[in-house]
Amino acid sequence: MPQKNNKQDNSRPIGIFDSGIGGLTVANAINKVLPHETLVYFGDTAHLPYGDKSPDSIKYYALRISQFLLKQNCKMIVIACNTASSLAYETVKEFVGKAVPVINVIDPVVQHVIRNKKIKHVGVIGTKGTIKSDIYHKKIKAASGRIEVSSLATPLLAPMIEEGFFDNKISRSIISSYLDSRKLSKIDSIILACTHYPLIRKEVEEYYKGSVNIIDTAGVVADHVRETLEKLKLSAVKKNKKPLHHFYVSDFTPSFEQSTKYFFSSKIHLEKMDFWS
């Protein structure tokens, strides 16, 4: 089990991982609120999407990636994937121990929903894995009996986004077919419970036309990361020079490279890291 490094170095990077490009929405949000922090991102593109994988497989992937991020001397690990957060967070946290803090993308959003007194009935859309775990419903109801929760699995969305199909006629048709579900008919707010989904936020907003509050999940998680670093006194010292972020993938995909450039400009350092075999 990893041991905590007694010599605290606040310039160490923040480690972030997801099954593919979805976690880049979280990485981008973190970069905006913490522009002086260095990021190390791992996209497990060889195994995407995580939503249809077994819990044991996801736990294995998450452990191997966390081990890799620790070797990159990361001071924090952010599980930027709802499926991995729901199924592997406790496993990763136990493995890491006291070495570094581990952040998932579910708990900060749940707390945000509970604090918002205007929310009475929240909808949750996500992968099969996330919705099957029922984790949002369980956590929200455990903390607040006043909020109704309606969940819907939307398994086509993450693969669609990974292939670059968003903001077009095809994506609008698929999104509308899901949001038309009776399960979501009475909601006043919606959680986009997959880190891919902020990339289709515009289309979700167009569908609801302001009638439903769309929760900025990536922004909520980024604020939580900032607060945690400040609380643990791990924040990096501000520098004039921009930090050099590193992006790793388990398999090269054109969509990942394009998305990385979209969020972090054309000057990126992308490497393939295959430690599965």
Token code pair at residue 134: 């029922």
| Residues 100, 35 share a domain | yes
User: At a CB cut-off of 8 Å and minimum separation 6, what does 162 contact?
Assistant: 20, 21, 22, 48, 49, 196, 253, 255
| Residues 114, 181 share a domain | yes
pLDDT tens string 261-277: 778 766 677 889 887 76
- Are the beta carbons of 203 and 171 closer than 8 angstroms? yes
| Residues 201, 118 share a domain | yes
Among 175, 192, 217, where does a domain finish? Answer: 217
pLDDT interval class at 171 (50, 70, 90): very high
| Residues 94, 72 share a domain | yes
The boundaries of the domain holding residue 205 are 107-217
- Does 44 map to a domain? yes
pLDDT tens string 187-211: 999 999 999 898 899 999 999 999 9
Helices 55-71 and 82-96 pack at an angle, to 10 degrees, of 60
Neighbours of 35 (CB within 10 A): 12
What does the alpha-carbon distance between residue 63 and residue 80 come to, in Å, rounded to a whole number?
A: 14
Share of the chain above pLDDT 90, in %: 73
| Residues 204, 233 share a domain | no
Among 195, 217, 239, where does a domain finish? Answer: 217
| Residues 112, 96 share a domain | no
- Does 37 map to a domain? yes
| Residues 111, 189 share a domain | yes
**What residues are annotated to the active site?**
81, 194
| Residues 131, 98 share a domain | no
| Residues 55, 100 share a domain | yes
The pLDDT, as a whole number, for residue 183 is: 96
- Are the beta carbons of 41 and 268 closer than 8 angstroms? no
The pLDDT, as a whole number, for residue 239 is: 77
- Does 261 map to a domain? yes
- Does 72 map to a domain? yes
- Does 7 map to a domain? no
Among 188, 217, 246, where does a domain finish? Answer: 217
User: Which of 141, 135, 65 minimizes the C-alpha distance to 102?
Assistant: 65
- Does 2 map to a domain? no
For the residues 86-102, what does the mean pLDDT come to?
95
The number of domains in the chain is: 2
pLDDT for 7 beyond 70: no
| Residues 223, 211 share a domain | no
| Residues 207, 74 share a domain | no
Q: pTM for this one?
A: 0.91
- Does 197 map to a domain? yes
From 3-7, 149-153, 233-237, the region with the lowest mean pLDDT: 3-7
- Does 3 map to a domain? no
266 burial level (CB within 10 Å; 0-12, 13-18, 19+): exposed
The pLDDT, as a whole number, for residue 168 is: 86
| Residues 163, 98 share a domain | no
pLDDT for 62 beyond 90: yes
User: Which of 2, 1, 3, 12 minimizes the C-alpha distance to 232?
Assistant: 12
- Are the beta carbons of 228 and 30 closer than 8 angstroms? no
Residue 129, domain CATH: 3.40.50.1860
Dihedral of CA 26/52/94/271: which sign? Answer: negative
pLDDT interval class at 140 (50, 70, 90): very high
- Mean pLDDT for the chain? 91
For the residues 120-147, what does the mean pLDDT come to?
94
